[in-house]
Chain A
């Protein structure tokens, strides 16, 4: 009965090689979020979608893009991963803005 699903759980990529992380939800929530979390730090919001409306955080690097083709799926594209992009990437959903966010298990990205 998983509600927020992330695939893969572990991803290894090479420096500069594009990579896509995926997230799906069975909650039919309007809002989907992508966070980056580095060791011993709090999750940092990269961007979020309300339905198809995209909202980018001001300090999110241009290297990070996102797509939401439908309500259930949201993708994080890293165009040219650098060593500093190695982190846990968390997807979350909420029914509406300002409501509880539910997180997926995360994808741990390793950049070689």
Chain B
């Protein structure tokens, strides 16, 4: 079946550098995408979202890019901080169906 997946299961970044977390999706009918951050022992926390009619959306220190041609989603974190260390999940939604999570990427920030 169609699914959402991630290229990199772990990512280590130096504090202050920019982080890029990638996600590939295969369901071309998905129209809404969300990035969640999950810290150890906590529930997923909404970071940023993007609809399929957009290709870029910016938040505070975070940017989500959507490339529908290659079915690719990325999360960019500027000036990565130790508090950004967590597992990041992309998720996709098609219409009114429940969201589908990707596998997750663990981001480790090296001080």
What residues make up the interface of A, taking CB atoms closer than 8 Å to B?
4, 6, 33, 40-43, 45, 48, 90, 92, 96-98, 100-106, 108
Among the stretches B64-72, B76-84, B99-107, the one at the interface with A is B99-107
Q: Which of A33, A42, A92 contacts B103 (CB 8 A)?
A: A42
Question: For the complex, would chain B's binding face be called helix, strand, loop or mixed by DSSP majority?
Answer: loop
Q: How large is the interface on B (under 10, 10 to 19, 20 to 34, 35 or more residues)?
A: 20 to 34
Given contact pairs A98-B93, A103-B43, A33 touches B49 in the complex (Cβ within 8 A)? no
A109 → B minimal CB distance (Å): 13
Please give, as numbers and ranges, the residues of chain B lying within 8 Å of A108 by CB-CB distance: 41
What residues make up the interface of B, taking CB atoms closer than 8 Å to A?
32, 34, 36, 41-46, 49, 89, 93, 95-99, 101-104
Q: How far is the CA of A42 from the CA of B89 in the complex (A)?
A: 8
Some 5 contacts from A to B, beta carbons below 8 A apart, are A42-B102, A42-B104, A43-B44, A101-B34, A106-B41
Q: Is the CB of A106 within 8 A of B43?
A: yes
A97 → B minimal CB distance (Å): 4
Given contact pairs A42-B101, A42-B102, A43-B101, A90 touches B96 in the complex (Cβ within 8 A)? no
